[in-house]
Structure 1
């Protein structure tokens, strides 16, 4: 620019230089030049969306595309850096349902823009001026890259929405929980609300203790037939049963002294032991507001009394939706040790299984679908209740093995949909990032399982267990460097 040259004239000269470049104004009569230009435009636009328009098309559209691309790159860099350096804080943001929906909108919008820019880049190549077979290969590459882009968006967006819905529907919005003596203790209930049952029953009761530092998992199995279970002091049920849970038989409201009948006692009958359609609300009035139910809260108090530890939250797995989860995971692999019947059970005492069984689960290593896995967990008429407890633990471990990153990513929508029908919990969303880190640590360690069954010398089928001994064994299992009294 000379001293007398105006800025406007200088800008005009700059535009003239740009317009002389072969990308914007190529020699259309030279097929080789047009072919090389076509390859460049298609590839560079896919790598840096918007760049093709800046070089050879609508610069305003190109600048908008480049700006959107830089924003997406910045978000990706921040996400990767956050997961590497501040994983808990980053996950806390990502698991927010509103954030997931917003990210889904951003991903879909950018994917649509990317495809629009790709179509425009293909137009800018002026295929009719390129050499054969280059024109067909350029078109094929452009379509393939657009399919990759669209496929990526189609893969990611529904999974992000499914995650948002699952988190919002399954987990509560409460405050984070604090570990009890170094452990997170969660009541794990296995229920069955399938057709033919008059109510949801807790067929499986256990407490999962997760070390707050190492992620080490210990599962305490509580037989559903445990008798005269104690309740934590200061709880509504302890006030009614200071000497342990007792059964009652009456025409209006009856239950026995088993652990899994605590729910029956609380939710079907009122505080006076009479039938009530709103039973339990007088004992646990805040249960529903906290994402729980009176029967669950009473069972939680019983678990605390049995084990001598605080149990803050629960997870209820409904066997009615269990099969859909197993199918969503692609099945589970189980080593079957004895032949088990499928079916509703005998019509009369002593009826052989061959007469009522609708099918059989044969011994050996099997990959079970949801229906078979459900029968594997339910089957009991030819084995003991303690055997069924063991099979349920095997099934839980097999399901956890299937939760690999690859399996979850490829089947996420089905898993999330199954979770809506399968899982109920009062665990807060705020704890999910920390529990995710603990789950990663837990995968690297074996799971300890302790069953308080009669064949392990904890009482008999007809007498209450030695609860004082259970307290000592739990303390020793969770704190192996300490004695049963908690002293070094």
Structure 2
């Protein structure tokens, strides 16, 4: 196969993180109007604009786009099997996806859930006021104030206005992987985690949905046991996921295509500007030029907290470099992540 054909194939299986990636495949769904309505019905949008109010960062119209992607355990009780935290639903995974002008490249910044931040005052989905708090764990924003508070916290941290919000439910994510037929990875060390029900020997594996969910949620058994190590696993898994979608051949398999579309639309909760098949397809089309090799992933520069070593705090100078790069629509400089805490899990999964 020529490089030109390979390039075209990659563009057909374009980048859209976690469950939303596969929504691109909806363009080929030929199940008729009834199936279109079924997919539309699957999508549960959330209107966060009213809760955020007018005091937000300036919406810069430079051709770039910023999306907050959260992985949560909020929809289903089935998520309890994977070590659901006490106290209600939380966001285990948080990524700011910056799509650069021209929509050919993307920079992704993972925010550790254990990061201590100044959480701003928020309004929850019921209109109740949620007071802000200093030295709050980042993922408590979602827990106490829902998606709008998570967005407001990210905007306060970064000074960047989020254009969109996409939440991926972990149980829906598992079903999506099963529809794909699994994801191929290679481990360099044994990964055994009783909480996530995972036991992988070193070597190649094809992970089903349950194993994939266990991998992206495992924590204590990799690296230094921190959330930073888990983020490195998540980033490595997502790259493998993108490649798996590219190679699985679903574009010639209508039945699998429809199954993927059904699973994808059930797995995600987008903001109210993306809560229909038509809107999601338009959104996905705008990302169709991004190839996996042009997606650059980093973790927010942090250090272990001196008071509580189980938490991390943003490194002011380096974090500022990250957010400034995204504001200026530039690549994140290597100096921003040099000599920062990593979790020591790099290279365990490839």
Higher relative contact order (CA 8 A, sep 6+): 2
Partner of 2:92: 203
* 2:154 maps to 1:339: no
Contact map agreement 2:62 2:101 (CA 8 A) in 1: no
**Gap regions ≥5 residues in structure 1:** 1-94, 101-154, 248-256, 267-294, 346-357, 484-488
Partner of 1:185: 66
TM-score (norm 1): 0.49
| Mapped partners of 2:298, 2:108: distance in 1 | 6
Partner of 1:246: 134
Task: Give per-residue Cα distances to partners, 1:16-55, cap 9 Å, x unaligned.
Answer: xxxxxxxxxxxxxxxxxxxxxxxxxxxxxxxxxxxxxxxx
Partner of 1:59: none
Partner of 2:202: 363
- The counterpart of 1:448, out of the listed 286, 296, 305, is 296
- Structure 2 residue matching 1:424: 3-state secondary structure: strand
* 2:338 maps to 1:471: no
| Mapped partners of 1:450, 1:230: distance in 2 | 22
- The counterpart of 1:265, out of the listed 140, 144, 152, is 144
- Structure 2 residue matching 1:419: 3-state secondary structure: helix
* 2:224 maps to 1:376: no
Larger relative helix fraction: 1
- The counterpart of 1:217, out of the listed 106, 110, 134, is 106
Partner of 1:41: none
What is the deviation of 1:423? 1.0
- After TM superposition, the runs of 4+ consecutive aligned structure 1 residues lying more than 6 A away are none
Larger relative strand fraction: 2
Contact map agreement 1:361 1:376 (CA 8 A) in 2: no
Superposition CA RMSD, Å: 3.7
Task: Give per-residue Cα distances to partners, 1:236-273, cap 9 Å, x unaligned.
Answer: 599943xxx336xxxxxxxxx2001112333xxxxxxx
| Mapped partners of 1:224, 1:156: distance in 2 | 36
The equivalences for 1:6-45 within 5 A come to: none
Structure 2 CA distance for partners of 1:454 and 1:466, relative to 1, 3 Å: closer
Structure 2 CA distance for partners of 1:184 and 1:481, relative to 1, 3 Å: closer
What is the deviation of 1:321? 2.0
| Mapped partners of 1:432, 1:421: distance in 2 | 13
* 2:326 maps to 1:326: no
- Structure 1 residue matching 2:313: 3-state secondary structure: coil
Contact map agreement 1:207 1:219 (CA 8 A) in 2: yes
| Mapped partners of 2:245, 2:178: distance in 1 | 13
What is the deviation of 1:374? 1.3
